[in-house]
A and B are shown apart, each in its own frame.
Chain A
Amino acid sequence: DSGVTQTPKHLITATGQRVTLRCSPRSGDLSVYWYQQSLDQGLQFLIQYYNGEERAKGNILERFSAQQFPDLHSELNLSSLELGDSALYFCASSQTGQPSYEQYFGPGTRLTVT
């Protein structure tokens, strides 16, 4: 158990809908990352937050947004869902946001868009 929690574990929804994925980092970790894992794209970095502020952005779609709250938990919002958004979404946390620190991953949320 990495100490990172993600809810829900599974999510099935229809195209055009909006969903929210939630992540709680390990105790003491200030930085949260979101990654998407799909068969065609592999593991792709989406966005990073450090102590409530956005720190880095990857190829995150405009339909996707995220935030980190004062208690350091984070939410990833996905809207106007398309079939291609079906994937495993991971949250990870690290002690700081520095490249030198290892990231610990949550169990993931499997999103299926029908």
Chain B
Amino acid sequence: GNSVTQMEGPVTLSEEAFLTINCTYTATGYPSLFWYVQYPGEGLQLLLKATKADDKGSNKGFEATYRKETTSFHLEKGSVQVSDSAVYFCALSDLNAGKSTFGDGTTLTVKP
């Protein structure tokens, strides 16, 4: 079956530090890959996505590249802000099955 493994948290960084959150996946076929972000008290919202190998998704300074050879989709940001504090979820979608598989989430805290 499909699975997503995320870097364990929590992650605590100082403002303007570089962020990497690792994500690897196991899937049959060619899934689409996603990063979602959940702010306190809210639902998950899409941060970025990539639908095929070597695609780079980007949004709000965050980036992730779909690496088929390493089955990875690591999230990066060059300079984090306090407002980036949230829980980040890596996910893959199985378009044939019509459903998504989520990682366990990584909590990021950015301190001023």
The answer to whether A binds B is no
* Residues of chain B whose beta carbon lies under 8 Å from any beta carbon of chain A: none
